[in-house]
Structure 1
C-alpha cells in the first residue's frame, strides 16, 4: 500500500490546531502531553536526518493515543454542555481519530530516514550505528592496551 506523501509540517499544523481547540475544554495533562509531542515534531522538522527525532515523535503520538482516550473518557462532560464545550470535545476526539493515520505517515517517514522498529532484544542496548566507534580489543596490537612498564620488561621509575 502506497501512502500519500504528506509533509510533516502539515501533520503538525493539523494536530496543533485540533489540540488548541481541544484545550478549550480539556486542559492540564491533555495540553501538556499533546503540546510536548508537538514539540518533538518540531524537533523532527528541524533535524530532517535525525532518526531519533522522528522516532521520539512517533512514540509520542502512539503514547498520546492512549493518554487521550483515558483523559477524554474521564473528563468529558455530558452532551448537554454548551456549544463551545461540544466543539472542543469534538476537536479533541477528531484529533484522537486522526492520530493512528498520522502514526502511519510518520512511521513511513521514520523508515525513509533509515529507522527500524525496536522489536529486537537489544532495544536498550548499544546504538545501531557503530562506524564512528573505535574497537576496544584489537587483535593486531601485540601489547595489551594498559600494559605497565614492568610488563614490557623495563624497570619502573623510582617513587612509584
Structure 2
C-alpha cells in the first residue's frame, strides 16, 4: 500500500476497505457473502484506481518517494485482475454460482418437483383430504 504515499483521500480508503474485506473473506472460510463482497470490491477498486490514478497522477513535481508510491499504485492496479481470478476461483470453490447468472438471466428453477403436463397421474389434493366441503 505504498500507493498511499502518492495518492490521498479516497484511494487509501477504498484499498484499505478491500483489504479488510479480504481478511474477513479469508477468516470466514464457509461464507459466500464474504468472498462475493471481496470479489465485487476488488472489481470496483480496479475501476476506481484507474480513475484516481488518471486524474491525480502528476508527471512533474513528484519526489522520489512519491514517484515510488505512484509506481506501486500502478503495479497494484496491474495485479488486481490476477487477484480477481484467484478470488473468483475461491468463490466457485465455496459454492458460488456463475456471476453471469443473475437476475432474469439466471438459472431456471428446479423443475424436478413439478408434474409434467402429459402425465397420466392425478394431482395430489392440496388440502390433504378427499372429504367434500359443503
TM bracket, shorter-chain basis: 0.7 to 0.9
Partner of 1:94: 75
Moved more, 74-83 or 40-49: 74-83
Deviation at 1:79, TM superposition (A): 4.3
CA RMSD of aligned residues (A): 2.4
How is 1:119-130 mapped onto 2 (pairs within 5 angstroms)? 119-122=100-103
The answer to which structure, 1 or 2, has the higher relative contact order (CA under 8 A, 6+ apart) is 2
The separation in 1 between residues aligned to 2:22 and 2:11, in whole angstroms, is 17
TM-score (structure 2 length as normaliser):
0.75
Q: Is the 1:79–1:86 Cα contact (8 Å) retained in structure 2?
A: no
Q: Count residues with an aligned counterpart.
A: 113
The answer on 1:118 being equivalent to 2:110 is no
Unaligned runs of 5+ in 2: 110-125, 130-134
Task: List structure 1 runs of 4+ shifted beyond 2 angstroms.
Answer: 117-123, 139-142
The answer on 1:106 being equivalent to 2:98 is no
Q: Is the 1:37–1:61 Cα contact (8 Å) retained in structure 2?
A: yes
Unaligned runs of 5+ in 1: 1-18, 129-138, 143-160
The answer on 1:58 being equivalent to 2:78 is no
The separation in 1 between residues aligned to 2:89 and 2:102, in whole angstroms, is 23
Q: Secondary structure at the match of 1:24?
A: helix
Deviation at 1:81, TM superposition (A): 1.9
TM-score (structure 1 length as normaliser):
0.63
